[in-house]
A = this chain, B = another copy of it.
Amino acid sequence: MSDLLQRLRDRGWRLTAQRRVIAEVLEGEHVHFTADEVHARAVERLPEISRASVYNTLGELVSIGEVVEVTTDGRAKRYDPNAHQPHQHLVCSGCGVIRDVHLSGDPMGALPEGERFGFSVSEVSVTYYGRCPACAGAGVG
């Protein structure tokens, strides 16, 4: 579940400085950066990295399944490197912080057969909204 970099090497990825830096930025728990935040952090390590490369790389990481795209209610998409452990999200409606959470049952089972309209259902996304301790205390939002 760690060492995204190693997995990318194993896949035979062409490992450029830009891609390495982006992978490094994405290490950690509860990491859910926007493309722009990834870019800002990448620039600290590699000043000449461009936004286009960040978008390209994130898009590829998503398409090979190493990163998951998260769309909360805000504008910009966020990128979640925790792609190998099924989980859902808890979002603070005050400050927007996201935590990974794990549910007690399989949410797929909550959709009755009679509610499937003939679809072949393959995925489910569950997002909880609330206030984090800091925002609840400060009355933010």
On A, residues with C-beta under 8 Å from B are 69, 71-73, 90, 92-93, 99, 101-105, 107-112, 115-133, 136
CB pair A128–B121 under 8 Å, yes or no, is yes
Please, which residues of chain B bring their CB within 8 A of the CB of A115? Answer: 90, 101-103
Number of copies: 2
Q: How far is the CA of A128 from the CA of B112 in the complex (A)?
A: 12
CB pair A120–B125 under 8 Å, yes or no, is no
Q: How far is the CA of A117 from the CA of B136 in the complex (A)?
A: 12
A129 and B118 contact, Cβ closer than 8 Å, known pairs A90-B111, A111-B90: no
Chain A contact residues: over half helix, strand or loop, or mixed?
mixed
CB pair B107–A111 under 8 Å, yes or no, is no
Please, which residues of chain B bring their CB within 8 A of the CB of A128? Answer: 108, 111, 119, 121, 123-124
A90 and B121 contact, Cβ closer than 8 Å, known pairs A107-B110, A115-B101, A115-B102: yes
Please, which residues of chain B bring their CB within 8 A of the CB of A130? Answer: 116, 119-123
Please, which residues of chain B bring their CB within 8 A of the CB of A109? Answer: 104
- A124–chain B nearest beta-carbon distance, Å: 5
A sample of 20 inter-chain contacts (CB < 8 A) reads A71-B72, A90-B115, A90-B116, A90-B117, A101-B116, A102-B115, A104-B109, A104-B111, A104-B112, A105-B110, A108-B128, A117-B132, A118-B132, A119-B128, A119-B136, A120-B130, A120-B136, A123-B129, A124-B128, A126-B127
